[in-house]
Each structure stands twice: as structure tokens, then as C-alpha cells.
Structure 1
Amino acid sequence: MTKEQAVLSGFSFIGRMARTTNEAEMKGEGVISSQWDAFYKEPFVDRIPQQKEEAIIALYTDYESDETGEYTFAIGAKVQDEAEAPEGLSKVTVPEATYVKFTSRKGPMDQVVMEAWQEIWEWSKANPNKRAFIADFEVYDERAQDPQNGQVDIYISVV
């Protein structure tokens, strides 16, 4: 997996949001898998107005504290700043921040995304106090179209 650091401009995002914790997700009581199920069953991303790009974004934001606290998970898209969220979806502004970008290997999407997060968690342990917990996000672009041979970028906000 490759890593690089950069300052990214802020962006507006519209998507379907839910609160969760890593503890709930690990126990199978979280919302992330059901959010993805809903994404595949109901193409709500098609209802998002003024999308800036084709990529689907999985956003982690509104952190209560760190990886042990509650946060908001959302699936959606980057939009023009003036876009308004349709019913059932919400809009957030992700501020400019410094990010470390982790790029997964190519392979089955469910495996490569989990492997990437495992590496991020190991990186976090080796770099205490580096994560900013402002916003983190996964980018599912054209490289993620084939679920059996996909690749994803994960951006982690850092201080």
C-alpha cells in the first residue's frame, strides 16, 4: 500500500448519514454494512444534485473524540457548494485539512478496504497523536468499478 501526505481543499458533500462507533462495527452491531446495502439496493446517489465528480465517497466525520468515540458515517458524493440536499439526505462541509492518503492494493473490494483500514490502524498506533479526527474518507472512483479487482484511496486527516 502506498502513502502520501498533502493539504486538501475543503469540499461540500451530500449523502446518507448514520452515527456509529468502531466498537459497534466490530461487534456486528454497527451501521456501515447496512449503509452499503442501502446504497446498492436504492441508487440514492443518483438523486444527489450538482455532483462534482463521478466518485462515490464514504465519509467519516463529526468525531466525538478519537477512534473510540462515536462518529458519523456517510455514503454520497462531493457536490458544488450551493447544492441542497434532497429529502432523506444531508449535507456537510468538510474543511480544508492535511491528509495522509493510503492507496490499497488491487483485489476484491471487501478485502482491500479492510486491509487498508488495518494498516491505517497500525500506522495510527505507530504515530500517536498524528490523526486529527476532522474527517476521513474513502474514494471509490473508476478503479473501484470491478468489485473483484478494485482499488480505493483512503484519506486520513492529520495534525
Structure 2
Amino acid sequence: MNYEIVTLPAFRAVGLKWEGIFSEIVPNLKEVIQQTEDRADELKYKVNPSVQLGLSYHVVENGFAHYAVYEVSDEQEIPDGMIEIRVPEWTYVKTTHHKGKDIHKTYADLHQWLFDSDYTALREAGVDYYDPYMPIKHEYCPVDRDPSDPHFDIYIPIIKK
């Protein structure tokens, strides 16, 4: 696996939010992701229309909040039923989950890299997270991915240990 340290500027994103526990992921989360994709044409000011973002925050016990969104410019209004999320400038470790590989292994390898590195996962002040290792996970998913065998970039916000 390749790991790269990158700093991304703050951005604004609009789409749909799902919040729940792990046992509710199928089919609920997949439906929200698909609904966001189906409604993408309502977002006229997408910064990168070929990439849907999956922003996960482990703020739910035994689960997480997930934002299925597209990065948008400030001109974008929020369509009915959608939400906005603003992500600050953060430094991330970036890696890629490749098609045909085991997603659990990709994340296990990333966890090991974090453990062995000079970095630890960022935890926002004043926020209670239930995942001690990777409380925030951002996935950049090509819209033309195969849902049954996806490939995507993973960004984990980090700070120096």
C-alpha cells in the first residue's frame, strides 16, 4: 500500500446524511448513497462531478454519521431534503482501496500504518467519538465505480503524535 501525507483546503459539500448503527448499514446506507447519486444533477455547482464523497464520523455508539455528498462552490443552494457540511483544512494520510481487494484489509493496513507512523488520527475538540483509531474517514469515490467491487481514495485526518 502507498501512503501519502497531504493537506487539503477547507471545502463545502452538499448531499444526504445517514446516521445509524453498523447493523443498519445494509440496505439503508447504500440507499442514501444511491439517492445522492440519483439527485446529483440538482447540484449545479459541483467542484468535481465525477467524485462522490463519503464522509464518515464515528459519533454514534456502534455506528456513525455518514454524509454522501459532492463538493460544491459557494454559489450552490441547498436543494430540498439535502444538507450542507463544511470541512476545515486538514492534513490527511491518503491511500487507495483498489478494485478486487478486501476493504477490511485496506483499513487494517491503514490502521497499522497509523500505529507505526509519527501520526495519530485527528479528533475534533468537544466531539465524542466512538472509534478510537479512525474517528473520521473520508472516501473519494468515482461515480463510475462498481458498487459490488469499488475502488476509491481514503483520507484520514491526522496530527503529529
2:82 is equivalent to residue 86 of structure 1:
no
CA–CA distance in structure 2, aligned partners of residues 158 and 68 of structure 1: 22
How high is the TM-score relative to the length of structure 1?
A: 0.73
Structure 2 SS opposite 1:130: strand
Equivalent residue number for residue 113 of structure 1:
103
Q: 1:15·1:91 contact (CA, 8 Å) conserved in 2?
A: yes
CA–CA distance in structure 1, aligned partners of residues 63 and 146 of structure 2: 31
2:144 is equivalent to residue 154 of structure 1:
no
2:53 is equivalent to residue 57 of structure 1:
yes
The change in CA–CA distance for 1:138 and 1:83 in structure 2 (over 3 A counts) is same
Q: Percent identity?
A: 22
The change in CA–CA distance for 1:117 and 1:132 in structure 2 (over 3 A counts) is same
Q: 2:6·2:93 contact (CA, 8 Å) conserved in 1?
A: yes
Equivalent residue number for residue 31 of structure 2:
37
CA RMSD in angstroms comes to 3.0
Q: 1:112·1:151 contact (CA, 8 Å) conserved in 2?
A: no
The change in CA–CA distance for 1:45 and 1:112 in structure 2 (over 3 A counts) is farther
Larger strand percent: 2
Structure 2 SS opposite 1:116: helix
Higher mean C-alpha displacement, 40-49 vs 93-102 = 40-49
Q: CA deviation at 1:82?
A: 3.2
How high is the TM-score relative to the length of structure 2?
A: 0.73
CA–CA distance in structure 2, aligned partners of residues 116 and 68 of structure 1: 23
CA–CA distance in structure 1, aligned partners of residues 121 and 27 of structure 2: 24
2:71 is equivalent to residue 75 of structure 1:
no
Q: 2:32·2:68 contact (CA, 8 Å) conserved in 1?
A: no
Q: CA deviation at 1:81?
A: 2.3
Q: CA deviation at 1:112?
A: 4.1
Equivalent residue number for residue 3 of structure 2:
3
